[in-house]
Structure formats: C-alpha cells, structure tokens
Amino acid sequence: MVKIKAVLFDMDGTLLDSYDAYFLAWRDTLKEYGVNLSREKSNSMGGMSYTEMMKAFLGEKYYDLKKQNRMDAIFDCLSDKSYSFLAKNGKPKPFAKETLLSLKKGGMNIAVVSSSSRRILDLSIQLLDIQDMIDFSISDKDVVHNKPAPDCYLMAKDRYRMPTNECIVVEDSPIGIEAGKSAGMKVIGVTGSFENEKLNSASPDYVFDNLKDAGDKIINLK
C-alpha cells in the first residue's frame, strides 16, 4: 500500500464550525434584495464558492444586478458581514486542533484547501490557531475553478510535488468530496454538516463521525 504523506483539509464545516456565521451574513445581505434565505438552504450550499452561491440564491436577479454593475458592492458587503459574524461566532470543530497536532507529530504534511476568500480563510486559520501546523492554504482566487472541480486539490498536490495517491482529503460536504475524488485522491467524509445519506452519495472512501477517528485512520494508513 502506498503511504499517505499529505493530508488536505477543507476548512468550513470540517475544521471550523462556521455555517451559522455564514448563514447570518448571507441572510442579512440577501434580505435587501428580497430574498428570504433559510438556514437549510444556506447550509446545503456548503463547499461552493461565493459566486456560485450568489447565483443560486439570487437566481435571475444575479444577472440583473451584474448588468447594473452592483455585484462588486454586494460581494464587499457580504465579505464584511461574513468576517464580522465569523470573528464572533466561528469555533473549532471537535478535535480539530488535536487531530492536526497528532498528524503533524506523526510526520504528515498538512494543508488547508478551501473555496473561501483569502481574507476569510486567513481569519479562520487564526481562529483555530493552526498557523504553525499547516504548510500552506489555498483559497478561492488561487484557482480558476472552485469545488466541485478538482483544481484546488490538484494545486495542493503540485505544491507538495507528490502523486495523488500520497494525498488524502478530509471534507464535510458532498461538493468537497466530489472535488477530492475528481482529483484522484482518497477522501474521508466527516459527518455533522450533512445527513449521512447525502454525504455517502458522493462516494467518499471512508466516513467518520469526528476528526479524531479520521485522524487515527490516516495514521494507520501511513
């Protein structure tokens, strides 16, 4: 069996409990444009880029607002609200820091691969206090196509100069799992953000209820 040498973690919903903060930001931003966003619909978009989420939530209004050159201002507003709510409400998922520390001590390379903006991703890393545990992070603007495209995970693999079978992905969403699988990597799905049935529909290689069990599995795969 090929040894796993790099662990590529998603951020939102995987390492950081951030979905409530994002829901509040999206809800308040979209309310001004006549959209009443439910928590369920907001959470169902986990793993997607802001642009794809905005298209999904606004529908045809997105293209009307884009023609009016108003989207940049709307994204700026959303970014500010997301940053503010995340700073107040973002918190580590259970065993997040302990799992990264255990993997690091076990000799693993660790990177964070996200569809969030660089500003939001940097804040998330600071909230978790994991700057010294990760080698690098990848955000939305680092790639042309965000999840479920495999670009972000392929970029991480290239930065490590490793073959795909030496990398493993840890995700909480079907979209993220699809991205990792499309990159040709083994993927661990962590439950909690999505119903197990929906998570399994993306065909992860392994599914665990928490990060500690996921980390133990990775160490045993080494």
Determine contact, residues 34/197, Cβ cutoff 8 Å: no
Q: What is the pLDDT at residue 49?
A: 81
Q: What is the pLDDT at residue 77?
A: 94
Residues in the chain: 222
Q: What is the pLDDT at residue 150?
A: 98
Residue ranges for the chain with pLDDT beneath 70: 1, 222
Q: What is the pLDDT at residue 202?
A: 95
Q: What is the pLDDT at residue 80?
A: 96
Determine contact, residues 214/204, Cβ cutoff 8 Å: no
Q: What is the pLDDT at residue 50?
A: 84
Beta strands in the chain (DSSP E): 6-9, 16-17, 91-92, 109-113, 136-138, 167-171, 186-190, 206-208
Q: What is the pLDDT at residue 1?
A: 64
| Secondary structure percentages of the chain, helix, strand, coil, to 5 | 55, 15, 35
Total-model pTM: 0.93
